[in-house]
Every structure is written in C-alpha cells, then in structure tokens.
Structure 1
Amino acid sequence: MADTPKLSEVEIVKDASNYLRGTIVESLSNRITGALNHDDTHLIKFHGSYQQTDRDLDSERKLQKLEPLYSFMIRVRVPGGTATPAQWQRMDDLADEYGNGTIKLTTRQAFQLHGVLKRDLQATIQGFNEALLDSIAGCGDVNRNVMCSPNPHESAVHAEVYAAAAAISAHLTPRTTAYWELWLNGEQQSTTEPADEEPIYGKTYLPRKFKIALAVPPYNDVDIFANDIGLIAIAEKGKVLGYNVAVGGGLGMTFGMNETYPRLADIIGFVPAANVLDVCEKVVTIQRDWGNRENRKFSRLKYTIDKVGLSAFQAELHQRLGYDLTPARPYHFQSSTDAFGWSGNPKGLSHLTLFIEGGRIHNLPGYALKTALREIAAFHTGEFRLTGNQNLVLANIKSAHRSRIQALLEAHGAWPNTAHQTALRQHSLACVALNTCSQAFAEAERYLPQLLDKLDTIIRAHGLAEAGILIRMTGCPNGCARPYLGEIGLVGKAPGRYNLYLGADHAGERLNKLYREMLDEDGILRELTPILADYAAQRQPQEGFGDFVIRQGYVQATTHGLNFHA
C-alpha cells in the first residue's frame, strides 16, 4: 500500500477551514491583538489580504515590550487592468480613510492598499465592494487577477481580449460564500448565488497560486511567459480568431535550492476564441489534481510540468478537453514595455500613458500625482487602465478633456517630463519589499530610485539615455517584479546586498542569468559601468542590452528554467 502523502501545513489548514472561513470571525473580534490567529493568516490571503508588520519599527517596539505593529495589505482585483473613474475615486478615498494614504499599482494590474488595521478590514472591503470591486482571490492558492494588454491603440481587438480576461476571471473566481459572509454581512452582489462547494477547485483549492495573462502582439506588456497560462491573441482584420496557449511559467525560486528556478511558459498550440475558457479551466484542474501538496516550494504548475513532462501534460489536457489544440499560429513580440505620453486622435478619443515610479500613487512636495488623478477622475469619461509595468493609462479621453487633463497634471507637478527621465528609469520595476513585506531581505521600491540616480549618470555619459534597458529589482527571490525577465535584474539577498542577473531579452521571451552575487551599491555600479560602456561602443544596430551581454560572453543564454542555474 502506498504511503499517504504528508500534506503541508497550509493544505491541512485549507481542509479544515470550511471553505475559507476558519476562525476569521473570532480573529477579527479579538481586540487584544492587532494580529489574526495563525491559521487565519493563511486563509485571509484567499480573501485578498496579507498580514504584515512595519519592520522598520519591530526592534523599537520589541524594546518597549509591544507586539509588532500589525497591519494588512489588501489586493483589489481589476480584471484586465481596466477600472472606471468612480472606482479610481473610491480607491483614492479608501487609501486616505483606512490605508497609509497611497495606492500601489501592482505588476499584475491590481490595486494594493497598505497599512489597513484589523479593525478597519471589513469597512475597507465594503467600501470598494460598493464600487463593484472585490478582493476575493487577490492572493491565495487560486487563480489571481487575470491580466491583459492595456494597449488602447487596437480598440476592437483590445475589447475582445479584455472581455476574455473578464470572463476567465469570473469563471475561475471561488464560489464559496465565505467572502460575502465575512466582509459584506451576507450581502451577495453576484447574479448567481454561489454555494459552499467548489466545482473547479475542490475543498482544498489549488496547491499554490495560479496566474493567467493575455497579450496582444506585438506588445508583450504583461509578460505572458511568466504566467501559469499565457494567451497570445491571434487577430485578423481587427477580430480575434483565438489564442496561442502557453503553459508553465512562474518566476519564484529559493536561494540555495537550485532545484527551484524561474521558468518561462511553453507554447502548446492554438485554441479558437470560443474555447479559451474551457482550456483555462482544464489546465487549472490538472494542476489541482497533479500539483505537489507536500512541499509548497515545488507546488507551482511549472514544477508539475517538468516532473511529468510536457508531452504527458498535453496528452492529459487533450483528454480532459475531448479535443486537441491545433498548431500555434505565427506571432511576433517586439517589446514588453509601455509607450509613454499622448497617443490616439487629438480630435477624437486619445490616450495618455503616465510613468508611475514603483507603481506608487502618492503626493510628495512639488509632485501631487494622487491629487491630480483624483481631480481628473471627477470628469474623465474613459477608463483608468493599470499596466503590467506598474504604470497608468488614461484611456479614451474626450477631445474636450485632453487639454484640461494635461493642465491639471502640470499644475500639480505630475506632468511627465521625459527629457529628464532616462528610458532605463521609465522601464524600471520594483516590488514593495521593505518595510512591510515579510519575505524581503533587502529594499526595492524605496531604494531603486536612488540607485537609478547614479546609474542615470553613467547611462547619460555613454549616450544611452534613450536605450530602453529593462531593469527590475526585488527584495527577495520570489519574483514579484519579474526580475528574471530584466535585462538587468537585481534580487535582494541581504540588507543592502543584491544578486545581479543579466541577459533577458527586451520582449520577455528569455530569462536572464546570474552574473555576480552579494553586491552592495558600489559593487553594482562597479560591475555595470564597464558593461554599459562596452554596450555603448560595441552594440549592433537595434541590439538590445540583454542580447549584447550574451553575444559578448558576459553570461550564457538561459534556454529553459532547468538550466537557469547552469
């Protein structure tokens, strides 16, 4: 008789949780502590929230014999990254009323509120629910926020891809009523009453998180190959015929464990648009049934596929579907970045893409971006589109509003002065990291702008101010800002120390490779300066920095996650 698998702690908690309820009610009513019961810290992730502490204050509070300053991050889903002006206003209000006064735009096109106290969790969730937003499945072992290219230039195609993203999101949303009972006092906003059963997920949901993204070539601005399922829209004459399907992407790893690694998704075929929901569901169910529930470090779909083999995975998928995918269609990606500034028709509908450093919407002296956007939301009739690169598109702006929007941004010091920003800075990504993320070993969002100030000097000295080099920084190896897809990737390993990775490509189709370990700031600048000088002098026409460092032999190309550490 085969041994019974030893389940991880989280699997045991999920099994006993009564469909994600646990003892959250009791945790919330306990006013002695700002924290939840231990098991509930796992369950609340499914409701879109992480328990955090202010790590800057931990030592001081410990000396004062106080518990850590607990608060909660809430991740609000925005399927396809598209929000209404009213939803933007509501998030702005809630950030001030219950959060730390800022909004974080994530690399998954979601809103994050930080600094929410336990006593305010229910009021905060009710607040954005009133604007038809929710946080269910914002985190946890389920399908997360479904991304899609926010590009407004291909309006008809974008509308179809956005509709597909929204449909996938709705179809894979957990059915448990726990979310509504806990946070909305039993109120149900859906047109269908969910029951306490999970026809797709089952009682214990997935072994780990699951991510889906849709891209519209030639733009890979959602980094689809970093997702468990990546869908590449194949359009003809302004209509989406279907999608090339890629499976098995994921970027997290663990230092010191080379059996963990980032991996890009493999394209396995083409599916007509009418069947894309079916394909997504069946891939999810295979991961539900085959994924590792003993060790969470190996629980993502990428490890499932590498364990059984891609051909075996495809055979199982075709069996569950009852049909085969057809061969993938031709496509081409040229970039994974955003194009900033005005676009569209000045006499019709136009669009404005704003660079948001670190994805942080806030007010600083001389830079009142948060105030400007709140005032714009009061009259803008289009959309607020969050990009996968932590930026913001004001889409479908009426011609009558165009000059007014620009004037407001200028008046608040928030008009993007691209002449003073290098392309390196504009294409930078950073996760939150310290002071609130419990996983962070080092700074990221708070530190990267300072490092960029020094790198910008080097970049300009070598005539590379407009070279679109991708730089990404995280405070740990979990990969939230997709550092392994950066032409320059910096991953925190200790306070003030980073591993330097080089060699990803500009279109998001190749991982980078470790170049140097445990560098402080001086070390980062010392290593990058001669390479950037070499790039300026020796690059070929249109050659990206990632391609250059491989051609020059600084690193070898990573061809698959399995040789990422080679």
Structure 2
Amino acid sequence: MPEIQPDFNDVEHIKSRSNYLRGTIAESLADRATGAVADDDTQLTKFHGFYQQDDRDLRAERKQQKLEPHYQFMVRLRLPGGVLTASQWLALDEIARTYANGTLRVTTRQTFQYHGVFKEHLKPLLQAVDAAGLDAKGGCGDVNRNVVANTNPHRSRLHAEVHDWTHRVSEHLLWRSKAYEELWLDGESGGEPDHEPLYGSQYLPRKFKIAIAIPPENDSDVYANDLGFIAIADGDELLGFNVSVGGGMGATYGDPATYPRLGSVIGFCTPDQVLAVSEHVIGIQRDYGDRVNRKRARFKYTLDDNGLDWFRDELNNRLGFSLEAPREAIFTGNGDRFGWTQGDDGRWHLTLLIENGRIADFEHQQLMTGLRELAGVHRGEFRLTCNQNLIVANVEEADRPAVQTLVDQYNLDGGGSQTALRQAAMACVAFPTCGLAMAESERYLPGFIGKLDAVMADAGLDDKAIVIRMTGCPNGCARPYLGEIAFTGKAPGKYNLYLGASFTGDRLNKLYRENIGEDEIMAELVPMIHRYAAEREPGEHFGDFVVRVGIIHPTLEGRFFHEDVGDAA
C-alpha cells in the first residue's frame, strides 16, 4: 500500500491525517456559527455519503447582504442493486419531508440522493436511514461506490442471483473504519485502533465504480464503470462473468490528457472468483493510481499509462490464476421497458418514468404522494434503474388492479404523454445545488425534450428512441459520453454538442459543436433528424446513422476522444 509522499495532492494529505476519516467532523458539526463544515472535512464527509453544497440561486443575493452562502448538503445512500422494500420506501419518504427539501432523487447509480439537508439535520437523517436498515457509507468518496446491476424483471431467478452479487461485492469492498458508527450512530470510540485491510490509510486515489449487466440489456451501462461483470448464463443458470476494466466518464475541459473511456473486456471468471477479482483490481488501482494529479487519478488512466498486458499480468499474479478467455455476450439496448411486464414466475412488474430522477409533487403529477400511497399497499419491492426510473416489482396478479388504480389516480405514468424520446433521456442535477455546474441540466432538459419531440413528430419518428444525455459540466454524472445526442454545460445557456454513441452503450460519442446555445443546437439537429428519417436503414439507430453517413467520426478508444473534433462530412 502506498505511503504518503510530499508531492501527493492535497486530498491525499487530508486523508492521511484524518484518523481513518474522522478528521474534525465532530467539531465541525458542533460549530453553530456557520452552516458549513471545515474545508478539510468537506473531503472526508464524502466517504460518509454527503457533499457540502450551497444554493447557487441565492449566492448573489446573500453576498450582497454580506451573508455566508446558503450552505446545505446532498446525502447519497448506499443501495446495492437498487432494491428496497415498501416499508423502506415509506421511511425514506418521511426522511425527505422531515430532514431534507421534501423530494427524493433517483440517481444514475440506482440509489437515492437527498438535497437541501442542513448541517444540524445530518446526524438525525443518517440515524433514520440506519433505522430503515440502510446507510450512506461509501455513497461518495475515494472508495468503491454503489454497486449497480440490471433490473430486468423477466428472468426473475437470474436477476435475483445477480442482485445477490451486488450485495456481496458491496459488503466485501466496504471501508471498515468505525468512524461512521462513532460520528452518526453514537457508537463507542476507542478500543482497538482502526485498520483498513483493503484500502489502507490513504484509501483509493479517486472514486471506483462497479456494475453488473445481464445481456442482452445493458441498462447498467456496464462499460462506463471501472470494473464491470457481464453475466454469462445458460438459461437461468449463471455460469460466470466476462470482466471489463477501465471504464469512466469524466473529463476536464481544455485538458486533452483527460477523457472518457469504455471498459476493456479482459477475460472470464466464475462466480466463486468474483470477490477475489474485485478485491485485486481495486488493489492494483490503490497501489498504482496517480496520487499527484487528481484529474488523472481514475483507474482508466492507470490502465492506459501502463497498458492492458501489464494489467493482466499484475492481476493474474495477484489472483494466483489466469482469467479464462471471454465468452460471447451481445447487447441490444440500454434503456428501460416501460409499463407492465410479466416475469418468468408469473408476477408483474410496472416500470414508471421518473423524469431526471426527481420524485416530487408536480402541477400535473402528484408523483411523491402517489408513490407514498402505492408503497402503503404494495406487497412486493421497488427497484431503481440506472436510467433514473422506478420499477414497482413483484406484483401479484390479484394486486395489479389496486396498483393500477393508484397509478391512474395520481397520474404516475404521465397519462400516456411520455414519448419515446423523453423515456430515453436523462440529466444530472446541475443548478442550483451542484458546485461544478456551468449550465442548467435537470431543470432545462424537460422543456428542451418537448421541442425535440415536435421535431421528431414532424419527421415521422414519434415512436423512435434516441439516447439523449445532458450534464451541467464535463463530468460523467449522467454518462453524457454514451448519449447518441449529448450536451455538457459550458456556460449559462451554452453547451457542447456530442454525437455518435451507440444505442447499446459500447461506443463513445464525439464533440460536434462547442459552446452553442439552443438556437444553434436546434439549427444543427432539426435537419439532421429529418435526414435520419429519410435515409436511415431498417432498424438503424441515430448514433449509428450519424457515423455511417460521415456526420461524425466514431470514437473507437477513449484516448482518441479528442481527435478529429467536429469532423462533419
């Protein structure tokens, strides 16, 4: 494990002197003179599941009034595989209304975020989460994050087995310091000194993400993750997993040494080898990841800097055996199936669109109230998807009419107004709470999709899905570089426009136009969509079309992401 070096970046030094993630968090919480925590503690609280933010809509006004920013926190839970009971749903709903801003947000990693949490509410919120049988440990920070997986409700037995692996991997890679229990759950301090058998006192150089996918659906965007397990099955029998390494979405404007990357499939492992593979892949990143330049501290850069052959040798040496050759695995899409579907066991599953993941009561849709009522009668469970949607899962035939009555009463399915384009779109939070946002995303995308819907209808493509992703900055929270059409915020009202990712999540897009507003975006997309309608081949998706006709060159590897920018034919 690495020892702290003088040239390591500031975050590494903060972790080193933190006493296994305690820092001065207790003192920060007790300081009532400010709504913030100490600067160093803002790095450490991420490991406990929350970020310090402020309401950017109020920044200028509060500055003029000579007040500190309107500090608040975003709390992210750990929910492996995105499955929770109806009673847990009710508990999380109550927590949102008691300690947060009254909304829940489904993330792109199958868990929930609370927004608008004030400092004095952090401890009671986390205690209430613990009482519901959940936690926020590792929701953020330089450790393994929430482990995600397919939410395919059709092959119920296989899904259940894969979901079990999300829990086993998550628990195996969880950080072990007692700091979480001491700070938030009134656990006893003292006793034996803490020890992190996997992470050491430095933890990882940056965050680490793991996904599991079950072909033919790639709804977990497995190749966007540092480590991916692609299930290989014979019917409902799980044979093992293809192993993908080195995926990651983030990039930094103006720095060509940073780029998104798709995972590389390096072999096949049996189920009993999954935990060892997970542990040793993380161990390699722990020992060789960049701790000097934090912008290049993700696992994808460790791989590209050292080479896949080096990595295979290092991994096989640590494992004590070699991975088998990858098995055939074909993906056909990465979206969710909306409406009612029936699983192999005869039970029903209802997938509802949660636009951009925000659960609240809106003018024409009482989403939060309706889901609360539904949780009160539902005898199955809820499943969150990596596309920010919700599955009301395992509904018995006799219970289906009662569920549908509530769906109709509270307009939970949008009254049939949700288009294929809207169902395939997602956005990050951005303004007003994200400190990295340069442009709107969650608040802007719904209206923009409405304008694109009109274009699609005019082109005769009403029922055609195009994967659209929007973020307020170049980071990867909504996996923008896997959008057939994607936007990353550059400035208020200005975005970079990307084109050409695959519908199945196995090809990146490429920058087409930089720093343009809505009028320019529409001027580009309207004729392009009409051309797609007129010239597409049978079954051809938009991302494949713009590559085939030469509108954009394909990005075959992440390190070539910045080459041939805007090479329109």
Q: TM-score, normalised by structure 1?
A: 0.97
Instruction: Check the 8 A contact 1:347/1:399 in 2, yes or no.
Output: no
- Where in structure 1 are there 5+ consecutive unaligned residues? none
Per-residue deviation, 1:187: 7.1
The one-letter amino acid paired with 1:560 is: E
Q: Give the equivalent residue in structure 2 for 1:505.
A: 502
More displaced stretch, 217-226 vs 5-14: 5-14
Using the TM superposition, give the Cα deviation of residue 151 of structure 1 relative to its aligned residue in structure 2, in angstroms. Answer: 1.0
* Cα distance in structure 2, aligned partners of 1:340 and 1:194: 51
Matches of 2:41 and 2:9, distance apart in 1: 15
- Secondary structure in 2 matching 1:378: helix
Q: Contact (CA 8 Å) 2:176, 2:195: kept in 1 or not? A: yes
Within the candidate set 363, 371, 374, 1:373 is matched to 371
Amino acid at match of 2:428: C
Partner of 2:197: 199
The change in CA–CA distance for 1:27 and 1:458 in structure 2 (over 3 A counts) is same
Q: CA contact under 8 A between 1:175 and 1:194: conserved in structure 2?
A: no
1:195 Cα deviation from its structure 2 partner: 6.6
Residues 166-219 of structure 1: CA distance to partner in whole angstroms, max 9, x if unpaired? 10000001000000000000079xxxx997111011111000000000000000
Deviations 1:220-250 (A, max 9, x none): 0000000000110001131111000000000
Q: Could you give the per-residue CA deviations for residues 52-103 of structure 1, whole angstroms, max 9, x where no partner exists?
A: 0000000000001110000000001110111111111111001100111110
Q: Indicate if the aligned counterparts of 1:228 and 1:265 stay in contact, CA closer than 8 A.
A: yes
The alpha-carbon distance between structure 1 residues 33 and 5, as it changes in their structure 2 partners (threshold 3 A), is closer
User: Secondary structure of 1:286's partner?
Assistant: helix
Give CA deviations for 1:124-150 in whole Å, capped at 9, x if unaligned: 000011011100100000000000101
* 8 Å Cα contact 1:176-1:194 kept in structure 2: no
Query: Does the 8 A contact of 1:231 with 1:244 survive in 2?
Result: yes
The amino acid across from 2:272 in the alignment is: A
Distance (Å, rounded) in 1 between the aligned partners of 2:415 and 2:7: 56
| Structure 2 Cα separation of the partners of residues 280 and 348 of structure 1 | 34
Give, in whole Å, the separation in 1 of the partners of 2:540 and 2:176: 48
Q: Given the alignment of the two structures, is residue 234 of structure 1 paired with residue 232 of structure 2, yes or no?
A: yes
Alignment partner, residue 388 of structure 2: 390
Is the CA contact 1:82–1:383 (under 8 Å) kept in the aligned structure 2? yes
Name the residue aligned to 2:126: 125
User: CA 1:279–1:346 in structure 2 vs 1: closer, same or farther (change >3 Å)?
Assistant: closer
Partner of 2:432: 435
1:488 alignment partner in structure 2: 485
Tell me the equivalent position of 1:402. 400
> Given residue 403 of structure 1, which amino acid in structure 2 is its aligned partner?
P
What corresponds to 1:38 in structure 2?
39
Amino acid at match of 1:81: G
Shift of residue 4 of structure 1? 5.3
Question: Does the 8 A contact of 1:253 with 1:261 survive in 2?
Answer: yes
Q: Which amino acid aligns with 2:283?
A: T
Q: Which residue in 2 is equivalent to 1:524? A: 521
* Aligned equivalent of 1:154: 155
SS at match of 1:71: strand
Does 2:474 align with 1:473? no
Contact 1:349 1:398 in 2 (8 A): yes
Gaps of 5+ in 2: 564-569
- Matching of residues 56-135 of structure 1 within 5 Å: 56-135=57-136
Q: Could you tell me how far apart the structure 1 residues matched to 2:397 and 2:47 are?
A: 42
In the TM superposition, residue 346 of structure 1 has moved relative to its aligned partner by: 11
Query: Could you report, residue by residue, the CA deviation over 1:359-394 in whole angstroms, capped at 9, with x for unpaired residues?
Result: 011001231111111111112111110000000001
Residue 56 of structure 2 aligns to a residue in which SS? coil
Q: CA RMSD in A?
A: 1.5
Identify the residue that residue 456 of structure 2 maps to in structure 1: 459
Q: Tell me by how many angstroms 1:400 deviates.
A: 2.1
Distance in structure 1 (CA, Å) of the matches to 2:398 and 2:77: 31
Q: Counterpart of 1:25?
A: 26
Partner of 2:567: none
The answer to whether the 8 A contact 1:369-1:409 is kept is: no
What residue is the counterpart of 1:306 in the other structure? 304
TM-score w.r.t. structure 2 length?
0.97
1-side partners of 2:414 and 2:504: how far apart? Answer: 24
SS of the equivalent of 1:233 reads: strand
CA positional deviation for 1:416: 3.5
Contact 1:48/1:136 (8 A) holds in 2? yes
Equivalent residue runs for 1:271-350 within 5 Å = 271-344=269-342, 348-350=346-348
SS at match of 1:481: coil
CA-CA distance at 1:551 after TM superposition: 0.7
Determine the structure 2 residue equivalent to 1:421: 418
